[in-house]
Amino acid sequence: MQRMLSEIRIAGFGGQGVILAAVVIGKAEAIFHGGYACMTQSFGPEARGGSSSAQVILSSEPILYPYVARADVLVVMSQEAYRKFGPQLKPGGILITEQDLVHVDEAPRGVRLYGVPATRLAEELGRKMVLNIVMVGFFGAVTGLLEADALRQAVADSVPPAFQKLNLQAFDKGYEYGSQLMVKLTDVEEAVSLESA
Protein backbone atom coordinates (compact mmCIF):
# COMPACT_ATOMS: atom_id res chain seq x y z
CA MET A 1 0.00 0.00 0.00
CA GLN A 2 1.92 3.03 -1.23
CA ARG A 3 0.31 5.82 0.68
CA MET A 4 1.27 8.28 3.38
CA LEU A 5 -2.07 9.87 4.17
CA SER A 6 -5.55 9.37 2.75
CA GLU A 7 -8.50 11.51 3.68
CA ILE A 8 -11.89 9.90 3.31
CA ARG A 9 -15.36 11.30 3.80
CA ILE A 10 -18.47 9.16 3.99
CA ALA A 11 -21.85 10.87 3.97
CA GLY A 12 -25.53 10.11 3.64
CA PHE A 13 -28.79 10.12 5.61
CA GLY A 14 -28.93 9.39 9.31
CA GLY A 15 -29.79 5.70 9.64
CA GLN A 16 -27.83 4.46 6.62
CA GLY A 17 -24.94 3.31 8.72
CA VAL A 18 -22.53 6.02 7.65
CA ILE A 19 -20.71 6.02 10.97
CA LEU A 20 -20.36 2.22 11.10
CA ALA A 21 -18.91 2.23 7.58
CA ALA A 22 -16.33 4.76 8.74
CA VAL A 23 -15.58 2.76 11.88
CA VAL A 24 -14.94 -0.37 9.79
CA ILE A 25 -12.52 1.45 7.49
CA GLY A 26 -10.70 3.12 10.39
CA LYS A 27 -10.50 -0.07 12.37
CA ALA A 28 -9.19 -2.01 9.36
CA GLU A 29 -6.25 0.42 9.18
CA ALA A 30 -5.58 1.00 12.89
CA ILE A 31 -6.07 -2.51 14.20
CA PHE A 32 -5.80 -4.98 11.33
CA HIS A 33 -3.30 -3.22 9.10
CA GLY A 34 -0.98 -1.70 11.68
CA GLY A 35 -1.22 1.92 10.58
CA TYR A 36 -2.95 4.93 12.07
CA ALA A 37 -6.55 5.98 11.66
CA CYS A 38 -8.56 8.85 13.06
CA MET A 39 -12.33 8.92 12.64
CA THR A 40 -14.52 11.89 13.45
CA GLN A 41 -18.18 12.46 12.80
CA SER A 42 -20.25 15.52 12.18
CA PHE A 43 -23.83 15.67 13.27
CA GLY A 44 -26.35 18.31 14.16
CA PRO A 45 -28.16 18.53 17.49
CA GLU A 46 -31.06 16.37 16.19
CA ALA A 47 -31.10 12.75 17.36
CA ARG A 48 -32.61 11.11 14.28
CA GLY A 49 -32.88 11.77 10.55
CA GLY A 50 -31.12 14.58 8.79
CA SER A 51 -27.69 14.21 7.35
CA SER A 52 -24.83 12.16 8.67
CA SER A 53 -21.19 12.45 7.78
CA ALA A 54 -18.01 10.82 8.97
CA GLN A 55 -14.39 11.52 8.22
CA VAL A 56 -11.61 8.97 8.36
CA ILE A 57 -7.94 9.72 7.94
CA LEU A 58 -5.62 6.78 7.25
CA SER A 59 -1.91 7.24 7.58
CA SER A 60 1.35 5.42 8.03
CA GLU A 61 2.26 8.04 10.67
CA PRO A 62 0.47 9.48 13.73
CA ILE A 63 -2.31 11.83 12.62
CA LEU A 64 -2.07 15.39 13.88
CA TYR A 65 -4.85 17.34 12.15
CA PRO A 66 -8.07 15.42 12.87
CA TYR A 67 -10.41 16.69 10.16
CA VAL A 68 -10.68 16.17 6.42
CA ALA A 69 -10.21 19.43 4.56
CA ARG A 70 -10.28 18.06 1.01
CA ALA A 71 -11.14 14.40 0.59
CA ASP A 72 -9.09 11.96 -1.50
CA VAL A 73 -12.08 9.64 -1.43
CA LEU A 74 -15.72 10.71 -1.09
CA VAL A 75 -18.37 8.04 -0.48
CA VAL A 76 -21.91 9.40 -0.81
CA MET A 77 -25.21 7.68 -0.15
CA SER A 78 -27.58 10.61 -0.64
CA GLN A 79 -28.05 13.40 -3.15
CA GLU A 80 -27.80 16.01 -0.41
CA ALA A 81 -24.48 14.57 0.74
CA TYR A 82 -23.14 14.71 -2.80
CA ARG A 83 -24.31 18.30 -3.22
CA LYS A 84 -22.70 19.31 0.05
CA PHE A 85 -19.39 17.46 -0.12
CA GLY A 86 -18.85 16.95 -3.88
CA PRO A 87 -17.09 20.31 -4.26
CA GLN A 88 -14.64 19.38 -1.47
CA LEU A 89 -13.21 16.42 -3.36
CA LYS A 90 -9.54 16.79 -4.28
CA PRO A 91 -8.68 17.01 -7.99
CA GLY A 92 -7.72 13.46 -8.96
CA GLY A 93 -9.84 12.10 -6.10
CA ILE A 94 -12.23 9.17 -6.10
CA LEU A 95 -16.00 9.62 -5.93
CA ILE A 96 -18.01 6.57 -4.87
CA THR A 97 -21.79 6.74 -5.05
CA GLU A 98 -24.81 4.62 -4.21
CA GLN A 99 -25.82 4.91 -7.86
CA ASP A 100 -29.57 4.59 -7.33
CA LEU A 101 -29.63 7.29 -4.66
CA VAL A 102 -27.14 9.74 -6.10
CA HIS A 103 -27.37 11.23 -9.53
CA VAL A 104 -24.16 12.75 -10.83
CA ASP A 105 -24.72 15.00 -13.84
CA GLU A 106 -21.13 15.57 -14.55
CA ALA A 107 -18.32 14.34 -12.35
CA PRO A 108 -15.94 17.12 -11.34
CA ARG A 109 -12.90 17.31 -13.63
CA GLY A 110 -10.17 14.80 -12.97
CA VAL A 111 -12.30 12.82 -10.55
CA ARG A 112 -12.73 9.06 -10.94
CA LEU A 113 -16.37 8.11 -10.44
CA TYR A 114 -17.51 4.65 -9.36
CA GLY A 115 -21.16 3.78 -8.73
CA VAL A 116 -22.64 0.77 -7.01
CA PRO A 117 -26.32 -0.20 -6.52
CA ALA A 118 -25.61 -0.97 -2.88
CA THR A 119 -29.21 -0.87 -1.70
CA ARG A 120 -30.30 -3.37 -4.38
CA LEU A 121 -27.34 -5.65 -3.60
CA ALA A 122 -28.24 -5.48 0.09
CA GLU A 123 -31.86 -6.28 -0.71
CA GLU A 124 -30.71 -9.38 -2.60
CA LEU A 125 -29.30 -10.54 0.74
CA GLY A 126 -32.69 -9.89 2.29
CA ARG A 127 -31.59 -6.97 4.48
CA LYS A 128 -31.50 -3.45 3.14
CA MET A 129 -29.72 -2.32 6.32
CA VAL A 130 -26.39 -3.82 5.23
CA LEU A 131 -26.03 -1.39 2.32
CA ASN A 132 -23.30 0.42 4.27
CA ILE A 133 -21.19 -2.74 4.42
CA VAL A 134 -21.80 -3.36 0.68
CA MET A 135 -20.41 0.17 0.21
CA VAL A 136 -17.37 -0.69 2.34
CA GLY A 137 -16.68 -3.79 0.22
CA PHE A 138 -17.02 -1.76 -2.96
CA PHE A 139 -14.78 0.95 -1.47
CA GLY A 140 -12.13 -1.66 -0.74
CA ALA A 141 -12.15 -3.00 -4.29
CA VAL A 142 -12.10 0.29 -6.18
CA THR A 143 -9.69 2.27 -3.99
CA GLY A 144 -7.23 -0.49 -3.12
CA LEU A 145 -6.37 1.54 0.00
CA LEU A 146 -6.74 -1.42 2.33
CA GLU A 147 -6.37 -5.16 1.94
CA ALA A 148 -9.68 -6.99 1.65
CA ASP A 149 -8.64 -9.16 4.55
CA ALA A 150 -8.12 -6.27 6.94
CA LEU A 151 -11.50 -4.83 5.98
CA ARG A 152 -13.23 -8.21 6.36
CA GLN A 153 -11.75 -8.65 9.84
CA ALA A 154 -12.87 -5.15 10.75
CA VAL A 155 -16.42 -5.91 9.55
CA ALA A 156 -16.54 -9.08 11.65
CA ASP A 157 -15.19 -7.17 14.65
CA SER A 158 -17.71 -4.31 14.38
CA VAL A 159 -21.09 -6.06 14.22
CA PRO A 160 -22.96 -8.22 16.73
CA PRO A 161 -22.13 -11.95 16.39
CA ALA A 162 -25.65 -12.78 15.17
CA PHE A 163 -25.19 -10.46 12.18
CA GLN A 164 -21.61 -11.39 11.33
CA LYS A 165 -22.42 -13.79 8.50
CA LEU A 166 -24.87 -11.42 6.86
CA ASN A 167 -22.43 -8.51 7.04
CA LEU A 168 -19.54 -10.54 5.67
CA GLN A 169 -21.78 -11.60 2.77
CA ALA A 170 -22.63 -7.95 2.22
CA PHE A 171 -18.95 -7.05 2.25
CA ASP A 172 -18.09 -9.79 -0.25
CA LYS A 173 -20.94 -8.75 -2.52
CA GLY A 174 -19.75 -5.15 -2.62
CA TYR A 175 -16.13 -6.19 -3.03
CA GLU A 176 -16.93 -8.54 -5.88
CA TYR A 177 -19.05 -5.93 -7.65
CA GLY A 178 -16.18 -3.49 -7.34
CA SER A 179 -13.55 -5.96 -8.53
CA GLN A 180 -15.58 -6.85 -11.63
CA LEU A 181 -16.14 -3.19 -12.38
CA MET A 182 -12.40 -2.54 -12.15
CA VAL A 183 -11.69 -5.41 -14.58
CA LYS A 184 -14.25 -4.00 -17.04
CA LEU A 185 -12.80 -0.52 -16.74
CA THR A 186 -9.27 -1.79 -17.28
CA ASP A 187 -10.45 -3.58 -20.44
CA VAL A 188 -12.08 -0.38 -21.67
CA GLU A 189 -8.98 1.64 -20.89
CA GLU A 190 -6.80 -0.87 -22.72
CA ALA A 191 -9.16 -0.77 -25.70
CA VAL A 192 -9.06 3.01 -25.69
CA SER A 193 -5.29 3.12 -25.51
CA LEU A 194 -5.06 0.53 -28.33
CA GLU A 195 -7.39 2.62 -30.48
CA SER A 196 -5.40 5.75 -29.92
CA ALA A 197 -2.10 3.96 -30.51
Partner 1 sequence: MQADAKGVLTGVHFLDGDHACCEGTLAAGARFAAGYPITPSTEVVERFAQRIPTVGGVFIQMEDELAASIAIQGAVWGGAKAFTVTSGPGFSLMMEHIGYAAMTETPCVFVNVQRGGPSTGLPTLPAQADMMQAKWGSHGDYGIVALCPNSPQECFDLTITGFNIAEEFRVPVLMMLDECVGHMTEKVVIPEAEQLEITPRRYTKLPPEEFRLYEPREDMVPDMVRAGAGYRFHVTGLTHDERGYPSMNVETQDRSVRRLVDKLKPFSNGRALFETEDLEDAQVVVVSYGITSRVAQRAIQLARAQGIKAGKFRIISAWPFPDQAIDALAGRVKAFVVPELNLGQMVHEVARVAAGRAKVIPVTHAGGTVHNPEVILNAIVEAAR
* Closer residue to partner 1 (CB): 171 or 177: 171
**Binding of partner 1 by 170 (CB under 8 A):** no
Find the part of the chain contacting partner 1 (CB under 8 A) among 21-29, 73-81, 86-94, 109-117: 21-29
- The Cα–Cα gap between 30 and 150 comes to 10
**Binding of partner 1 by 45 (CB under 8 A):** yes
**Binding of partner 1 by 84 (CB under 8 A):** no
Looking at 15, 44, 50, 92, which residue binds partner 1 (CB under 8 A)?
44
* Of residues 42, 52, 46, 40, the one with CA closest to residue 14: 52
User: CA angle, corner 22, sides to 53 and 37, nearest 5?
Assistant: 115
**Binding of partner 1 by 37 (CB under 8 A):** yes
**Binding of partner 1 by 13 (CB under 8 A):** no
Check if the beta carbon of residue 3 is closer than 8 Å to that of residue 66: no
Looking at 50, 66, 87, 92, which residue binds partner 1 (CB under 8 A)?
66
* Closer residue to partner 1 (CB): 23 or 77: 23
* Closer residue to partner 1 (CB): 20 or 89: 20
Give 119-128's long-range contacts (Cβ < 8 A, gap of 24+): 121/170, 121/173, 121/174, 121/177, 122/170, 122/173, 124/173, 125/166, 125/169, 125/170, 125/173, 127/166, 127/170
Contact footprint for partner 1 (CB under 8 A): 23, 26-27, 30-31, 36-45, 63-67
